[in-house]
Amino acid sequence: MTVAPGAAPSVTPAGRAEGPPWWSRVLSALAVTGLGAVAVVVAVCGAFVHRWQNPVGLILAIGGAAGVAILARACARSRFGLAVIAMLWLVPVIVLSRPRNSAVVIQGDEFGLVFLFGGTVCLAVILGMGVEARSTRRVT
């Protein structure tokens, strides 16, 4: 980029912006990995809880999925990390909704469908919002 003669010094490019330190990336990757394990646990627990005490269990199950997604949004550095968390929640839910030996954990009635689609919509909305912006400026 060229600067016009007589331009103010603040207009002059200062070079390439510094990226986050390496330890910040490692901590973010570890946080997303840990949240992946939490997403699987929340999905399995939500599959069993969504029928408990009519609306309360359903709200807890969908709220758990939304909570994991919000935490992932705060920890992840890209939408790929959010997509991994969403898939780690969705896969156990789909597996538990399939009939196995005449036992279905998530049935195809209104409670099961609200849990399945409500959790999926929460995760899709958070994935669509993207990750939180991190400022590279030093705090003074």
pLDDT tens for 2-60 read 656 665 555 545 555 566 677 878 888 888 899 999 999 999 999 999 888 888 999 99
Q: Sign of the C-alpha dihedral, residues 123, 128, 130, 132?
A: negative
The number of distinct structural domains making up the chain is 1
- Tell me the C-alpha distance between 18 and 24, whole Å: 13
Collapsing DSSP states into helix, strand and coil, what is residue 103? strand
Report residue 15 CA to chain centroid gap: 33
Quote the domain boundaries for residue 105: 22-129
- Any domain includes 138: no
- Any domain includes 10: no
Note the pLDDT tens digit of each residue in 69-117. Answer: 999 888 888 888 888 999 999 999 999 888 878 778 888 888 899 999 9
- Any domain includes 1: no
- Any domain includes 123: yes
* pTM, full prediction: 0.76
- Any domain includes 88: yes
- Any domain includes 55: yes
- Any domain includes 136: no
- Any domain includes 13: no
